[in-house]
Structure 1
Amino acid sequence: MSPLASSPEQPQPLRTVLAATKSWVERLGSVWVCGQLLELKRRSGAATHFLTLRDALAEVSVTVTASTGVLDAAGPVAEGMEVVALVRPTVWSRSGSLTFECTDLRASGEGRLLAQIEQRKRMLQAEGLFDRARKQPLPFLPRSVGLITGEGSAAERDVLQVARGRWPGVRFSVKHALMQGTSCVEQVRDALAALDRDPEVQVIVIARGGGSLQDLLPFSDESLARAVFACRTPVVSAIGHEPDTPIIDLVADVRAATPTDAAKRVVPDVADERHRVEQAAHRVRAATVRMLERERHYLQTLRTRPVLADPLGPVTVQLNQLRELRARGERAVRGRLREEAAWVEHAVGRVRALSPRATLLRGYAIISTDAGEPVDSTAAVTPGDTIVAMLADGTVRADVTTVETRRGSDG
């Protein structure tokens, strides 16, 4: 393309220069570039988003536009990842600024590995392998601790030394395996199955020191993650260092930041436990003393009460009341007996006054015929009849010789 002819007297219009620049730049066409995703700005509801790509070696960065469809098709990409992008340079006619339009975006290198691991995490999480409700608690003091680690590794030394320093009597069942490389997954999985079958092993530790993303990649393997999830024995994952989070860290029942941290989690510290026992004993003694003091105070309070100062006092009061009631009852009975005796005596007197015997005692007699018929008139007998006279002390039989009737008498 030949340069534009121009002079101070005959300058080119700005639109012509921009159009020529735009035409020349766009002749480059689409090109694949690699770089680090420095910044990603997703605009909610917008169709176009902005990315900043930086060269891995030089201080060079460009702004790239990408549609929502391109970003969604790229999968899980995040700031800091290495990516490759299919970009097309162009010049905006209005501002004259150079920009790049991205039509395809993919993670590359470690970024690609991280994207794959992230996708695997999402799949396993959806299946519930990371569910906290399914994680098993660690035993307080296991009979035996299973350890899977590299032979002669620093991780093995750290776990054994720290655990035995905390609890000297701890027992270990150690299984050595390659902790990186192509055979790592198979060997770790076989060692895990062997320890899970051992009835003496009550917790399993998988320990490895730090390393690169590629070194720790086997511990994000799907089959190993599922093997850890299927273990009946609680599993402690101690892979890498604090920033490293392989998938088995999320599947394991407990994640330890380092192998040393794993040793601290699987066995208690004998010094700490002794201190806790001493503290508990002190609290028990203090609680016992407080309880005894409280009960002693309660007993002292009871002793000062009148009922305990003179236990027979209430009995004496009740006895006096009983005696008083008894005396009142006896007086009432005697009074009633006197009343009833007087009434009986009066009734007897009346009965005696009306009794025929009382009349007989005054010298009267009851006369009846020999047949027992009462004689109440001189007309009832005739001379020669026999009469019977009932007296106070017996009877007299007499023969009637004369009957005299009084004339003019009233009875």
Structure 2
Amino acid sequence: MLGSETIGVAELTQRIKDLLEAQPELQFVRVRGEITNARTYASGHWYFSLREGEVQLRCVLFRSAAQWLPYLPHDGDEVIATGSIGVYERDGVYQLYVDHLEPLGDGALRQQLELLKQKLEREGLFDEARKRSLPPLPRCIAVVTSPHGAVWHDIQSVLRRRYPYVHLILAPARVQGDGAVESLVAALQAIQADGRAQVVIIARGGGSLEDLWAFNDERLARTVFACRIPVVSAVGHQTDWTICDYVADLRAPTPSAAAEIVTPYDRATLLSWLHGFSERLNEQIARRVEASREHVNQLEHRLQRAAPRHRMDNLRQRLDQSAQRLDLAITHHLLRARNQVRTLARELELLSPYGPLERGYLLAEDMASGNLVRSANHVTIGQRLRLHFSDGTAETSVQAVQPKGTGGGSHGRAP
């Protein structure tokens, strides 16, 4: 008993701490409540409160214990916390030092979901590198959903407004409750067997975690992963995430958004494109026609130049030019030969022994030998000579010989 004893706050807090920690039934307690005000510090420690109605119990989960939990609950999850009651002396409050957490209700489902997510992620089912791009202008789109819900109507409305040229296939399936997983798997397999669809939308409206649980099933996840056609997942509202969203090639926040995502170009954009394509096509055709016309003109010109008539004209002109050059060459050659003949004639005339006869000279020929008498020393008295004049000959005999420089005396015998 404290009685009238006066003690400090620290000592009082310590006594309360000792009293609580001395109670065996408070050192191992299991407390059920709803998680609230959960926060994690950089140290890895996790602080939260357990709430039941208006009553709250402060709790702390140290890193040494938190690291062994497969899943940390979120605010609003109902859990069973196992631990011991103690006093945090600085704040003077008692709190539960948690050693283990067991989720209840949605919390248990979330823990199961987290474990499956980790498993599939390790196996590579969420790998971004394997995800395929969507066709930009799909001709056929398949939708896996309930034929009775608003989702199917919304998708049809969006596609009718944006992209009325596509063929739409409904693969009806249960999206909630018993048999939903088997129905969804069968619908995806039927679409692949059909072979017409170029992209698949798997969709349903929003709901609780339990309502969407079929889309967290491992069998459906592996079917989506193995699907040969690109898959767009549109399950629940924008804040809802399922295993199907992680495995699909693309996740859409809502079914209506999925219909817009798979048709990125609306009717107005396509018509604008077609108009632009038409103009560019006309320009291309005009350029091709002009280029072809120019090419034909070039070929025609080359053909004309290579035609036989054109070649004959060229050959004829070349023959005329060759004949002209030949005539000039012959004329030049003849002129040069004529001049050469004239020169030779003059030289021959100068060298001819008959040339001087024209100038009054004569030639003496020994009639006996036929040799020309070139010197008076070769003449004898009585020698018969034939005298050649320019206009004829005369025969004579030598009567006297008088060599040059002898003073006019005769030479030889007298007749």
TM, length-normalised to structure 2: 0.69
Partner of 2:210: helix, strand, or coil? helix
**Residue 247 in structure 1 maps to residue 243 in structure 2:** yes
Deviation at 1:66, TM superposition (A): 0.3
Deviation at 1:98, TM superposition (A): 3.7
Kindly provide the amino acid, as one letter, of the partner of residue 77 in structure 1: L
**Residue 150 in structure 1 maps to residue 146 in structure 2:** yes
Q: Distance in 1 between matches of 2:101 and 2:357?
A: 156
Deviation at 1:249, TM superposition (A): 2.1
Match for residue 32 of structure 1 among 30, 48, 67: 30
Q: Distance in 2 between matches of 1:409 and 1:217?
A: 169
Q: 1:32 to 1:187 in 2, by over 3 A?
A: same
Q: How does 1:52-67 map to 2 (within 5 A)?
A: 52-55=48-51, 57-58=53-54, 60=56, 62-67=58-63
Q: Which residue of structure 1 aligns with residue 197 of structure 2?
A: 201
Q: 1:153 to 1:369 in 2, by over 3 A?
A: farther
**Is the Cα contact below 8 Å between 1:117 and 1:220 reproduced in 2?**
yes
Q: Which residue of structure 2 aligns with residue 404 of structure 1?
A: 401
Q: Distance in 2 between matches of 1:210 and 1:94?
A: 46
Q: Distance in 2 between matches of 1:119 and 1:128?
A: 15
Q: Which residue of structure 2 aligns with residue 23 of structure 1?
A: 18
Q: How does 1:155-234 map to 2 (within 5 A)?
A: 155-168=151-164, 170-234=166-230
**Is the Cα contact below 8 Å between 1:382 and 1:400 reproduced in 2?**
no
Q: CA RMSD, aligned part only? A: 4.1
Kindly provide the amino acid, as one letter, of the partner of residue 160 in structure 2: R
Match for residue 260 of structure 2 among 247, 260, 264: 264
**Residue 11 in structure 1 maps to residue 6 in structure 2:** yes
Q: Which residue of structure 2 aligns with residue 313 of structure 1?
A: none
Q: 1:207 to 1:388 in 2, by over 3 A?
A: farther
Q: Distance in 2 between matches of 1:386 and 1:109?
A: 176
Deviation at 1:231, TM superposition (A): 1.7
Q: How does 1:5-404 map to 2 (within 5 A)?
A: 5-7=2-4, 10-12=5-7, 17-26=12-21, 27=23, 28-33=26-31, 34-36=33-35, 38-43=37-42, 46=43, 49-55=45-51, 57-58=53-54, 60=56, 62-67=58-63, 69-77=64-72, 79-80=74-75, 82=77, 83-92=79-88, 96=92, 98-130=94-126, 131-138=128-135, 140-142=137-139, 144-168=140-164, 170-266=166-262, 269-278=266-275, 351=347, 354-356=350-352, 358-367=355-364, 369=366, 371=369, 373-383=371-381, 385=383, 387=385, 396=393, 398=395, 400-402=397-399, 404=401
Deviation at 1:171, TM superposition (A): 3.5
Partner of 2:97: helix, strand, or coil? strand
**Is the Cα contact below 8 Å between 1:54 and 1:62 reproduced in 2?**
yes
Q: Which residue of structure 2 aligns with residue 295 of structure 1?
A: none
Q: Which residue of structure 1 aligns with residue 301 of structure 2?
A: none
Partner of 1:195: helix, strand, or coil? helix
Q: Distance in 2 between matches of 1:409 and 1:59?
A: 189
Q: 1:399 to 1:100 in 2, by over 3 A?
A: farther
Number of residues of Structure 1 aligned to a counterpart in Structure 2: 353
Deviation at 1:169, TM superposition (A): 5.6
**Is the Cα contact below 8 Å between 1:38 and 1:52 reproduced in 2?**
yes
Q: Which residue of structure 1 aligns with residue 307 of structure 2?
A: none
**Is the Cα contact below 8 Å between 2:363 and 2:389 reproduced in 1?**
yes
Residues 110-142 of structure 1 show CA distances to partners (whole Å, capped at 9, x for unaligned) of 344334334433443444433255314235142
Structure 2: stretches of 5+ with no match in the other structure:
288-331, 408-415
Percent pairwise identity: 30
**Is the Cα contact below 8 Å between 2:385 and 2:398 reproduced in 1?**
no
Q: 1:22 to 1:206 in 2, by over 3 A?
A: same
